């Protein structure tokens, strides 16, 4: 009888210990998952910060008054000022008008 009682006790201890191990494992797992989630969020945030919207800078052609992309414009440098034109013709017109004045 004493042996049986001992076996029963051991079973209880075993159940408690195995549950503790399970709980401990679950807690560690939870932490790992939380860390992974945090890492992922951080990475996603970094990607968002890196993805800047493409900004096309536009300028006004003073001859025909059309808005044009700065990168594709014809440019004249006057002292410190720059003038941008949609075409070589507009650029020429501007120069001619300036020379007439």
Q: State the maximum Cα–Cα separation within the chain, in Å, rounded to a whole number.
A: 123
Cβ atoms 39, 50 nearer than 8 A: no
Check binding of 76 to Zn ion (CB under 5 A). Answer: no
Check binding of 61 to Zn ion (CB under 5 A). Answer: yes
| CA dist., res. 18 & res. 24, Å (int) | 10
Check binding of 60 to Zn ion (CB under 5 A). Answer: no
Rounded (5°) CA angle 42-43-44? 90
H/E segment holding residue 83: strand 81-85
Beta bridge partners of 76: 83
> Least separation, in Å, of the C-beta of 59 and Zn ion?
11
> Least separation, in Å, of the C-beta of 78 and Zn ion?
17
Task: Find the binder of Zn ion among 64, 74, 76, 93 (CB under 5 A).
Answer: 64
Q: Which is nearer to Zn ion, 59 or 86 (CB)?
A: 86
The region of 8-16, 19-27, 52-60, 82-90 touching Zn ion under the rule CB under 5 A is: 82-90
> Least separation, in Å, of the C-beta of 100 and Zn ion?
18
Check binding of 86 to Zn ion (CB under 5 A). Answer: yes
């Amino acid at each position: 009888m004493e042996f049986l009682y001992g076996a029963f006790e051991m079973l209880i201890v075993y159940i408690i210990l195995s549950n503790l191990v399970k709980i401990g494992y679950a807690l560690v797992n939870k932490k790992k998952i939380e860390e992974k989630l945090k890492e992922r969020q951080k990475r996603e945030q970094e990607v968002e910060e890196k993805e800047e919207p493409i900004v096309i800078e536009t300028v006004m052609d003073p001859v025909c008054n059309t808005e044009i992309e700065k990168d594709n414009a014809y440019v004249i440098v006057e002292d410190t000022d720059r003038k941008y034109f949609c075409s070589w013709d507009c650029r020429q017109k501007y120069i001619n008008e300036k020379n007439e004045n």
